[in-house]
Amino acid sequence: MPFYPDHVLDEIRNSIDIVPFISEHVALKKRGRNHVACCPFHNEKTPSFNVNAEKQIFMCFGCGVGGDVFKFAMLVEHVTFPEAVRLLAERYGIPLPQVARTEDASSGADLEALRAAMADAVTFYHHMLVDTAEGKGALVTWRGGALRARPRGASSWAIPRLEAMFCWSGCARKDTRPRRSKTAG
């Protein structure tokens, strides 16, 4: 995934007026300083979708969606952020610099190694949950509903197991380096 410098994003953002851009998708009406319409992201009868021309942002007070021209393009076109940047730059004739890809993102072998590390983690956690006494106890507790009442966070039961996973991912597999395990999540 390419990463664009902030000055490039600012140039695109500053060269596009959000009101005409959103008007291509939604019938905006001027109301005071803002433009309003019914939100294109949910059904409503009373307009709650606001576009502020001064700040170059939009916000729907009905569903809570808001953002800038990039976010609107992402939502309307169903694309990722880099795709929205590229789409807007092409549409408005703004040249994009050639972005150097990072070493990890450019190699297909690295992606395969990350996928393999994730698959190994799934296997490890499945084994810990199904094949160990502690895992079976946790599974029974979870199925019984008691686990839902606990607050989120690492419990005293989970911390040693997470440490075991870190050691397993970094030590047991020679071809999975701890850096890759961390990158894979």
Q: Averaged over 83-98, what is the pLDDT?
A: 90
Return the percentage of the chain with pLDDT > 90, whole number: 45
Q: Is residue 84 packed enough to be buried (19+ CB in 10 Å), middle (13-18) or exposed (0-12)?
A: buried
Query: Do residues 176 and 113 touch, judged by C-beta distance below 8 A?
Result: yes
3-state secondary structure of 57: strand
Q: Averaged over 103-121, what is the pLDDT?
A: 68
pLDDT on residue 149: 37
- In the predicted structure, residue 29 carries a pLDDT above the cut 60: yes
Q: Averaged over 38-46, what is the pLDDT?
A: 92
| Lowest mean pLDDT, pick from 60-69, 86-95, 129-138, 164-173 | 164-173
Distance in angstroms (rounded) separating the CA atoms of residues 178 and 184: 10
- In the predicted structure, residue 138 carries a pLDDT above the cut 90: no
CATH number of this structure's domain 6-91, picked from the four choices 3.40.50.720, 3.90.580.10, 3.40.1350.10, 3.10.105.10: 3.90.580.10
Residue extents of the structural domains in the chain: 6-91, 105-184
Contacts of 33 (CB under 8 A, 6+ apart): 52, 53, 54
Work out the pLDDT band at 146, boundaries 50, 70, 90.
Answer: very low
Largest CA distance in the chain: 66
Q: Averaged over 139-146, what is the pLDDT?
A: 51
Token output for 145: 């509903």
